[in-house]
Amino acid sequence: MLRVGLTGGIGAGKSALSATFADCGGIIVDGDVIAREVVQPGTEGLVSLVAAFGEDILRSDGSLDRPALAAKAFADDAARQKLNSIVHPLVGKRREEIIASVPQDAVVVEDIPLLVESGMAPLFPLVIIVHADVELRVRRLVELRGMSEDDARARIAAQASDEQREAVADIWLDNSGSQEDLVKRAREVWNDRIVPFAHNLAERRFVRAPARVVPADPTWPDQARRIVNRLATACGHKALRVDHIGSTAVPDFDAKDVIDIQITVESLGLPDELGEALLAAGYPRIEHVDRDEAKADARSTVREYDRSDDPALWRKRIHASADPGRPTNVHIRVAGWPNQQFALLFVDWLAANPGERVNYLAVKHEAGKPADGDMAAYFEAKEPWFADAYRRAWEWADFTGWKP
């Protein structure tokens, strides 16, 4: 099952986006609908709200007077937190009940108004944000929902900022134009990214980017932070640390358009739950790779105490992203083993040594020519350089007192 998190500020257009995804075949789990369901008369939620905010939030028929509740709940941060602490757990429980009842090969789009504010973004393999400027959203709320301008602005101010939403967005859909424009863009996202992602996940297939060096992308660090948060959440206590590694982790450095992440663990004898958790997060395992083969074979012992020539200490597990929009390699390595240490050292060594960056970039460009996009050939062409780079990097580490 592919679970997609959808959110955006009030008045941005989540409902129109959800409706389009539903037309495309997605199963929509609407947080607003569930939030109304859990505070119907006779529910635990309504009883708790009355206890927290008073009897005057009820209508004469015993149902919730939403404007009256909003007037109290959005008055200050403490009141809003009190509201969220009551409603969010109930909504979450009901959401999981609904999801458990749908087919396992479904694409579930979870429309969650406060996905960012509640810290839920890392729970989803894909997060979509629908955006519109504040003034446009105010106008929509006043004209289409009958809110007062003050109420509309208060609701918007109480939610996450655009910067906070951008930080978690895998896909950013602007809804400042017509609804037809939004529907067209939504269908493109569904057909070009969501459906292939779901199919890859179901077949446990991963995606590869061509072995071609591209100019440094200033958004690589932000993309990596989202992935690190997602993987750390998926792994939980099984991960000792999760790091952005590889060339895209070196500032302003040209690289293949692939994000490399390292998950450090205590042992490769991990329970199956870790693999299942990574699969659910969008990262199937690459079964035929179990060690840094070429790296282990190429290096002789350069530091007697690190035993870098022991092939057993270059073993790893590797997963890769099923998302066609973001090729990612996830290397699982054991804490203290030379491959785990070198992955961390390599980034810092390159960042601190401009001459090494120039040399390595030349090697990558040269390796890309005969490889012509083939990843295996690309790696093989680079390996002779790595054998001596390993020695130079550790000499630098010993000289500077580098620590991982």
Structure confidence at residue 385 (pLDDT):
85
Q: Which of 278, 230, 224, 229 is nearest to 247 (CA)?
A: 224
Average pLDDT over the chain reads 89
CA distance linking residue 235 with residue 193, whole number of Å: 25
For the record, the structure tokens of 275 come out as 């693999």
Q: For residue 242, which of 250, 251, 233 has the smallest C-alpha distance?
A: 233
* Backbone dihedral region for residue 236 (phi beyond 0: left; psi -120 to 50: alpha; all else: beta): left
User: pLDDT by residue (tens digit) across 184-224?
Assistant: 999 999 999 999 999 999 999 999 888 788 999 999 999 99
Which H/E stretch holds residue 213? strand 213-214
Strand partners, 110: 5, 29
The whole-number average pLDDT for the span 339-349 is 95
Q: What is the pTM of this model?
A: 0.86
Q: What is the pLDDT of residues 79-132, one digit of tens each?
A: 888 998 999 899 889 988 988 898 888 999 999 988 999 899 999 999 999 999
The pLDDT > 90 percentage for the chain reads 64
Residue with more model confidence, 307 or 335? 335
DSSP H or E stretch at residue 129: strand 126-131
Which residue in 331, 319, 346, 167 sits closest to 242, CA to CA?
Answer: 331
Q: pLDDT for 62-75, tens place per residue? A: 999 988 998 888 77
The DSSP 8-state label assigned to residue 158 in this structure reads T
Whether the predicted pLDDT of 369 surpasses 80: no
Phi/psi of residue 237, each to 5°? -70, -10
187: its two tokens:
């269908």
CA distances from 238 to 235, 272, 277, 305, 321 (A): 6, 11, 11, 27, 19
What pLDDT, on the 0 to 100 scale, is given for residue 305? 42
